[in-house]
Structure 1
């Protein structure tokens, strides 16, 4: 562990750090765990599973486990929920990939139950792939486990059996997936009930009443994708127009819409009444329209309109400072392009 230098603290409460290897210069994540199952991590360090950060080193000392794992660049699913950057198609895709990861864990002998599936434990890479992290609460499924005597997991996502009403099984993770799907559904700009039946099936109180496997859950979700492609044309066109609404109007929250309306009025008024000395009518309006597009581009970039952040990978970084830097780079690039077009038109006319 002395080969790694700490370069940043990601979460001081949970003891998560960004570290750099002294010789190779590569960046890793270092975690210090006080609650863990050593057998889980010993298995994962020897058997890498796609969709889970690769483990490079583990060290147990004084009832703590220190681990070095792969650094995954991206946003947490919680951050995507907060920024309302999700679409129905993205939800279907992310849930499908998450089911694939959990299927690999549940198919092991004995199966590994994650037991702490929640948005903050799911990273979305810049290429929109899912990575499941944090196996602190994970356990093996054994026939001798009849009850979970200690609650490990997160309130709101933990299944009833995690409160001591039974033993954790694959249905425990399926329950959390149902709660996750419910939260993802609620984050959509346009309310939908398309996931309701699946959510109810996943979150039944009795584990035996839930879906039997994550593969069954994935199949049901993929059916929704097929069904959505068969919707009438007028419905699709209406949904498309809803998605084109500018920032401030997508959530249909009254106070946000009022604030956005006032801001847009101010932007239009200030730009379209701009005065330029010794300018012809053409050049005056060219300057005004360029200023208008610049102001609107800043608003659209900052609020990720039409997922514009995907143009710059830095905008999808999990670290806030790097993500903000990516947004600044994107704003600068668009501003430069607008200035270039303006000067080009001025030189021609």
Structure 2
């Protein structure tokens, strides 16, 4: 990067390029005003000869900056600065997220098992819930393993919001797709919130098989990896259905199903009450769930939800759960299963020991 006397550039020291995406090049930098804290600077690189294409690239880049300003969620990279130069260069500055993206992890170490995939998927659903419940809803539109960072603490973080957009029904969007992860409707410029569920399903299939999903195909990871749980395979098939109406309706519905699958793996894991009610409602039964879950089980899992999180979507539910739990006799003697977040942290430490 060429030296620049502008005061803004004096604040950041550019260390090295980290990579290049669809709209820009990404640098590792240090913020001199914050004790040289590491950060990431994304610069718009426009090689479009067509003025209209260049204008569209600039528009998307500016929209990413405006969108990131609004977000306050631990599963979304924090944006805190931007800058435009007189000669038309655009820069975004965001937190440095330690760890590795899921695509590189799979490429280096092979597929994830069902357990780790469910743990990752639940965190992804939490972020999608947050985005889809904005007013208007935000569609991420580019969910894939390379855009998901896994930190050493087991946190999944969404990065690169360059093509995310607000959802306006009956309004066509720019046709931006990633083959294998984008659903059919996105090819026609008509993405909706369930388009992100398709992309999540395709991503989970990739994590379980190590193979990039085929474009516009229903993902069936058990065809490749027989170790994939039947229930997880079934959920992924429905998430990647061609018709949006055949997919789960919301990210919350998917999260609730994932809780049930996680309970299948760890019978001691108690499904949150809100998820039990939803699952029973969808199944048409108000009887206690199968697999030994008590009808009134309401222990909220001490997972990533237990961290201090701004704008926690489940805060009210957790407060209710805590009041219920506090009123119960403490009869449980055996140790609870490891939390989802801590299990991912343990997995990370074992996987990258000595690296």
Which residue in the other structure is 2:66 paired with?
A: 42
**Structure 1 residue 80: Cα displacement:** 2.1
Alignment partners' CA distance in 2, 1:160 and 1:56 = 34
Alignment partners' CA distance in 1, 2:111 and 2:239 = 25
Aligned 1:187-336 pairs, distance under 5 A: 187=210, 191-194=227-230, 195-229=232-266, 310=349, 315=352, 326-327=354-355
Alignment partners' CA distance in 1, 2:70 and 2:157 = 18
Aligned 1:156-167 pairs, distance under 5 A: 156-164=180-188, 167=190
Q: Is the 8 A contact 1:201 1:210 kept in 2?
A: yes
Q: Deviations over 1:70-118 (max 9, x none)?
A: 0000111112212126232111111000100110000000011000000
Q: Is the 8 A contact 1:171 1:213 kept in 2?
A: yes
**Structure 1 residue 143: Cα displacement:** 3.0
Q: Is the 8 A contact 2:142 2:178 kept in 1?
A: yes
Aligned length: 238
The root-mean-square deviation of aligned C-alpha atoms, in Å, is 2.6
TM-score calculated relative to the size of structure 1: 0.62
1:21 aligns with 2:58: no
Alignment partners' CA distance in 2, 1:49 and 1:72 = 14
Q: Deviations over 1:207-254 (max 9, x none)?
A: 1221110011111122111223459xxxxxxxxxxxxxxxxxxxxxxx
Q: Is the 8 A contact 1:80 1:86 kept in 2?
A: no
Which residue in the other structure is 1:184 paired with?
A: 207
* Larger gyration radius, structure 1 or structure 2: 1
Which residue in the other structure is 1:168 paired with?
A: 191
Relative to structure 1, is the Cα distance of residues 309 and 163 closer, same or farther in structure 2, using a 3 angstrom cutoff? closer
**Structure 1 residue 197: Cα displacement:** 1.1
Alignment partners' CA distance in 1, 2:41 and 2:81 = 9
**Structure 1 residue 42: Cα displacement:** 1.6
Q: Is the 8 A contact 1:8 1:18 kept in 2?
A: yes
Alignment partners' CA distance in 2, 1:69 and 1:124 = 17
Alignment partners' CA distance in 2, 1:309 and 1:97 = 16
**Structure 1 residue 171: Cα displacement:** 0.6
Aligned with residue 168 of structure 2, among 117, 142, 157: 142
Q: Which has the higher helix share?
A: 1
1:53 aligns with 2:61: no
Relative to structure 1, is the Cα distance of residues 53 and 309 closer, same or farther in structure 2, using a 3 angstrom cutoff? closer
- Please, which runs of 5 or more residues in structure 1 have no aligned partner? 232-306, 317-325, 328-349
Alignment partners' CA distance in 2, 1:58 and 1:136 = 14
TM-score calculated relative to the size of structure 2: 0.61
Relative to structure 1, is the Cα distance of residues 18 and 50 closer, same or farther in structure 2, using a 3 angstrom cutoff? same
Alignment partners' CA distance in 2, 1:177 and 1:309 = 21
**Structure 1 residue 127: Cα displacement:** 1.4
Which residue in the other structure is 1:246 paired with?
A: none
